[in-house]
Amino acid sequence: MKLDISNREDLVNLMKAFYTKALVDESIGHYFTQVVQLDMEKHLPRITDFWETVVFDAGKYQGNTLKIHEDLHEKSPFESAHFTRWIDLFKATVDEHFAGENAEKIKSRAISIATVMNLKMVHGGAGLK
C-alpha cells in the first residue's frame, strides 16, 4: 500500500524520481539538459523548497517561479504540448510512489500552476482575466 506524501524527504524522493524521467523525456528533456543545463545538486533543494511550500505551506521558497519559466520560454519557446507532457509525467510519478490527500493536492496544484504558465506564455494570458 502506498503512503501519502508526509514530509520533505518524501518530496525529495518524488523530485528525484520525476527528474529521472523528465531529464530524458523526448518532449521536455532538452529544457533541463540543453536550454539551462540544470545542476540537480543546486536545483533539488530549491525545487523541494517550492513543493514543500505548496504542499505544507512551509514558506521556504522565495523565488519567482513564473519569471524563471518566462526566461526559459524566451530561450526556447514552450508549446502547450510541453505543459501537457510535464503534467502527465508529474502526475504519473506521484501516482507511482504515493497515494492520499497530499498526493492529490500536489497533483492538483501542479496542474493549476502548469495551466496558468501555459495560458500566460503560450496563449498570451488568454483566459486569465
pLDDT in tens, the chain (129 residues): 999 999 999 999 999 999 999 999 999 999 999 999 999 999 999 999 999 999 999 999 988 999 999 999 999 999 999 999 999 999 999 999 999 999 999 999 999 999 999 999 998 876 665
**Domains of the chain listed by start with CATH number:** 8-121 (1.10.490.10)
d(C-alpha 113, C-alpha 26), whole Å: 22
> How far is CA 11 from its chain centroid?
12
> pTM for the complete prediction?
0.93
List the grid coordinates of 17.
524520481
Half-sphere exposure of 58 (CA within 13 A, CB side): 18
CB-based contacts of 35-39 (< 8 A; 24+ apart in sequence)? 35/72, 35/75, 35/76, 36/72, 36/75
